Amino acid sequence: MKNRRALVAGAGGFIGHHMVRHLKGKGYWVRGVDIKEPEYEPSQADEFMVLDLRKEDNCLEATRDIHEVYQLAADMGGIGYITANHADVAVNNVLINAHMLQAAFANDATRYFYSSSACIYPMYMQKSPEIGGLKEEDAYPADPEEGYGWEKLYAEKLCQYYDEEGKLPTRVARFHNIYGPLGTYDGGREKAPAAISRKVAMAEDGGEIEVWGDGLQTRSFTYVDDCVEGIYRIMQSDHSSPLNLGTDELISVNDLVDLIAKLGGKSLTKRHDTSKPQGVRGRNSDNTQLRAVLGWEPATTLEQGLTKTYKWIESQVAGRAG
């Protein structure tokens, strides 16, 4: 891909940082853009611009002289954050997504990737922990999560309109709980694997950790290396409709805690706090369409991915304590 110029919007964040590295490995010239620089290590981007992508002029600057746009920028976090900040999350992300699409079109980008979320799936389908995989066509009739889910679904439609009208070829993936090293693990925006890894790393063997909800809620989780590989494959495909990008390895939060405690070599007691947000009762990815389109799906098992993730978070916690 020599001489191909890619923009990673959200390159200061977790997935965007890994996406920059992935594209550099494929020979792209990469521009990274975010409202902040990466937290844990410098970006490998050829050029990094600190810009607020809620502003139209900044989006025009970011997309200038770019072939492929990877739109990963978003105001987001774990269930605690997105539950408490519906207005800010929705407004900030609608502005980013509308301005980025229009700017990419105005600057003649050749292709546009948008990172959607499993949060777009109807709440009425996710009321049981024993959930089958959610299929792409299940998105309608719509009943997404408040705030974050609604703005993601709306942005999917914007991409559809730009693609259908011949303005800009768009590709969309619905992420299912991405985790891995270099991700946020404290401060309120972290997701379950990182939050639990931090709690386990900080706990004494034989101690107790807090678990949000009753722990029976289920999820599937996707390792970040699989995520960026999937993003790239979807971007290069001829498939313009949204695709799930996740695993179908379903696990309860209680079992997730037990797995991470085992990786940490600790025996821990769970203290459940049912007053805290816990999201839908069950969510899982159906990868039938992903396999049909790409002939590929994420291959990293949860234990493999968590082994690397826990080791990294444990080192961060130890370094901070030291």
Whether residue 141 has a cis bond before it, omega within 30° of 0: yes
As to burial, measured by CB atoms within 10 angstroms (0-12 exposed, 13-18 middle, 19+ buried), residue 105 is middle
For this structure, is 148 an active site residue?
yes
Structure tokens at 227: 């995520």
Residue of 28, 121, 148, 310 marked active site: 148
Structure tokens at 58: 């900044």
Structure tokens at 37: 């620089």
Cα→Cα distances 16→140, 246, 264, Å = 29, 17, 28
**Interatomic CA distance for residues 299 and 233, integer angstroms:** 14
Q: Which residues are catalytic?
A: 148
